[in-house]
């Protein structure tokens, strides 16, 4: 995988997209493909191995030692939208929306909901396809292109850690917890310093990618801008693709975090046989391609995917079944 300095490699997408962000998925997903599939990002369920999670009233009656004992036994696991809908007594379907299948009352928090059986469900991550799931999807992408070893990965420029910038503060901060009072005072001074020195000369603040890449032209699509890298479906089909990605988050690893890298916002092969889109505001990824590709994705037990029609809306209020 290598950086592509010329962003015109993605210009072909522009003609297939609608204008500004709107109701139809075609504001970010190209038109003109025979079929489309929606790959649902996994949700998270928190439960106790041998009993239901206590209701709020039960928690309040517990002695602190008992509540802590139960909290220490919580298990967080990925789960499917199908299982979430079953837990809340709603209907899973291709255009389901998270806040609807978890029965979110108007004005309430939809991100985390408690099901009738006491389990806690947390919403899927938006704009990011887990590396293992992307690898499973890419296995099918490899088969359905004549150029499985050539293509382009587009990364959304807005991830806060990705690009460097001229400014008064770093792209991000890593906080360390400790009892050293002197270190804490130094940390507090470093946090407040940019506010107290707002008129000083901006300096270059490093991101994951180099300054050359950070300051170069981007692929500009409606309401979105991307950095491009040469990348093939076969590379992403390898479970360890994160370790070879040029945008691997090495600064975080140096501070003890596990290897990680953003999943592509858009991925396509050189022959344009399909396109994969993980829009930053979607809790699912859309794959556009042949009918055979879509059928294969939807039949894979490792992937929760359903076919969706052209012009489908994935807006938060588009779920007309679970109203």
Asked if the model's pLDDT at residue 242 lies above 60, the reply is: yes
Average pLDDT over residues 238-245: 90
pLDDT band (50, 70, 90) for residue 167: low
Confidence of residue 66 (pLDDT cuts 50, 70, 90): confident
Q: Looking at residue 82, what is its pLDDT?
A: 96
User: What pTM did the predictor assign?
Assistant: 0.82
Name the percent of the chain lying above pLDDT 70.
81
**% of the chain at pLDDT higher than 90:** 51
What pLDDT, in 10s, does the model give residues 81-134? 999 999 999 999 999 999 999 998 888 888 888 888 878 899 999 989 999 999
pLDDT above 80 for 169: no
Q: What is the mean pLDDT of residues 204-232?
A: 87
Q: What is the pLDDT of residue 306?
A: 97
Whether the predicted pLDDT of 158 surpasses 90: no
pLDDT in the model for residue 204? 55
pLDDT band of 16, cuts 50, 70, 90: very high
pLDDT digits (tens, 9 = 90+) for 173-197: 544 545 555 545 544 444 445 555 5
- Residue 53: pLDDT band with limits 50, 70, 90: low
**Looking at per-residue confidence, does 178 or 294 come out higher?**
294
The three state secondary structure string of the chain is: CEECCCHHHHHHHHHHCCCCCCCEHHHCCCCCCCEEEEEECCEEEEEECCECCCCHHHHHHCCHHHHHHHHCCCEEEEECHHHHHHHHCCCCCCCCCHHHHCCCCCCCCCCEEECCCCCEEECCCCCCCCHHHHHHHHHHHHHCCCCCCCEEEEEECCCCCCCCEEECCCCCCCCCCCCCHHHHHHHHHHHHHHHHCCCCCCEEECCCCCHHHHCCCCEEECCEEEEEEECCHHHHHCCCHHHHCCCCCHHHHCCCCCCCCCCCCEEEECCCCCEEECCCCCCEEEEEECHHHHHHHHHCCCCCEEEECCCCECCCCCCCCCC
Question: Does 164 have pLDDT greater than 90?
Answer: no
User: For 280-291, what is each residue's pLDDT tens digit?
Assistant: 989 999 999 999
Q: Is the pLDDT of residue 73 over 70?
A: no
């Amino acid at each position: 995988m290598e950086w592509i300095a010329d962003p015109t490699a993605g210009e072909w997408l522009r003609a297939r997209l609608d204008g500004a962000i709107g109701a139809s998925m075609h504001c970010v997903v190209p038109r003109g493909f025979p079929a489309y599939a929606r790959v649902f990002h996994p949700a998270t369920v928190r439960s106790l191995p041998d009993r239901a999670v206590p209701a709020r009233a039960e928690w309040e009656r517990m002695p602190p030692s008992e509540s802590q004992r139960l909290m220490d036994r919580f298990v967080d696991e990925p789960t499917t939208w199908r299982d979430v809908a079953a837990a809340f007594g709603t209907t899973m379907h291709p255009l389901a929306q998270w806040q609807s299948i978890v029965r979110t009352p108007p004005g309430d928090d939809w991100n985390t909901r408690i099901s009738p059986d006491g389990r806690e469900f947390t919403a899927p991550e938006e704009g990011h396809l887990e590396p293992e799931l992307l690898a499973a999807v890419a296995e099918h992408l490899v088969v359905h292109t004549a150029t499985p070893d050539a293509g382009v990965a587009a990364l959304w420029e807005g991830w806060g850690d990705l690009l460097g910038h001229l400014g008064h503060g770093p792209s991000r901060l890593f906080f360390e917890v400790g009892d050293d009072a002197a270190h804490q005072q130094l940390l507090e001074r470093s946090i407040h310093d940019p506010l107290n020195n707002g008129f000083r000369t901006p300096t270059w603040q490093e991101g994951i990618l180099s300054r050359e890449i950070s300051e170069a032209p981007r692929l500009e699509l409606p309401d979105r801008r991307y950095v491009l890298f040469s990348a093939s479906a076969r590379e992403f089909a390898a479970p360890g693709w994160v370790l070879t990605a040029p945008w691997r988050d090495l600064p975080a690893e140096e501070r003890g975090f596990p290897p990680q890298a953003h999943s592509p916002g858009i991925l396509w092969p050189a022959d344009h046989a399909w396109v994969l889109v993980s829009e930053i505001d979607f809790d699912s990824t859309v794959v556009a391609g042949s009918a055979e590709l879509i059928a294969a994705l939807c039949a894979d037990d490792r992937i929760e995917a359903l076919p969706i029609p052209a012009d489908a809306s994935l807006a938060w209020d588009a779920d007309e079944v679970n109203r």
